Structure 1
Amino acid sequence: MTDRAPSLVDAALLREPPATARGIRTRATLVAAARTVFERDGFLAARLTDITAEAHCSIGTFYTYFASKEEVFAAVLQEAQDDMMHPGMPHVEDSDEHPEQLLAASHRAYLTAYKRNAKLMQLLEQVATIDPQFARLRRRRARAFIDRNARHIAALQERGMVDPTLDPQLTSACLSAMVSRMAYHVFVLGDRYTMNDLVDTLTRVWVGALRLSPPPSA
Structure 2
Amino acid sequence: MDAASAAPVRQLPATVRGARTRAALVAAARKVFERDGYLDAKLTDIAKVAGCATGSFYTYFTNKEEIFAAVLEQAQQDMMHPGMGRVSSSDDPYAVLQASNRAYLEAYRRNAKLMGLLEQVAQIDPKFRAFRARRADAFIARNAAGIADLQERGIAAADVDPLLASQALSGMVSRLAYGIFVGGEASDDSGADFETVVDTVTRLWANALQFRSTNN
- Give the TM-score normalised by the residue count of structure 2: 0.84
Contact kept? 2:24, 2:50, Cα under 8 Å: yes
Alignment-derived partner of residue 134 in structure 2: 140
- Corresponding letter in the other structure for 1:13: P
Alignment-derived partner of residue 55 in structure 2: 60
**Does 2:106 correspond to 1:107?**
no
**Does 2:196 correspond to 1:201?**
no
Deviations 1:165-207, CA, capped at 9 Å, x for gaps: 4322221111111111221122222313622111111101111
Aligned-partner SS, 1:53:
helix
Deviations 1:56-114, CA, capped at 9 Å, x for gaps: 4332222222211112112222333210237953343x341132111001011111111
Contact kept? 2:3, 2:131, Cα under 8 Å: yes
1:14-163 aligned at under 5 Å gives the runs 14-85=9-80, 89-92=84-87, 94-163=88-157
Give the drift of 1:10: 1.9
Deviations 1:92-144, CA, capped at 9 Å, x for gaps: 3x341132111001011111111111111212212222221222233123213
Q: Aligned partners of 2:117 and 2:17: how far apart in 1?
A: 29
Give the drift of 1:52: 2.3
Deviates more, 1:138-147 or 1:35-44: 138-147
Alignment-derived partner of residue 8 in structure 1: 3
Runs of 4+ residues over 6 Å off in structure 1: none
What is the aligned length? 211
- Give the TM-score normalised by the residue count of structure 1: 0.84
User: Can you give the 5+ residue segments of structure 1 that lack an aligned partner in the other structure?
Assistant: 1-5
Give me the CA root mean square deviation. Answer: 2.5
Aligned-partner SS, 2:77:
coil
Q: Report sequence identity in percent.
A: 58
Q: Aligned partners of 1:189 and 1:76: how far apart in 2?
A: 21
- Corresponding letter in the other structure for 1:111: L
Q: Aligned partners of 2:44 and 2:106: how far apart in 1?
A: 33
More helix by share: 2
Contact kept? 1:118, 1:187, Cα under 8 Å: yes
**Does 2:157 correspond to 1:177?**
no
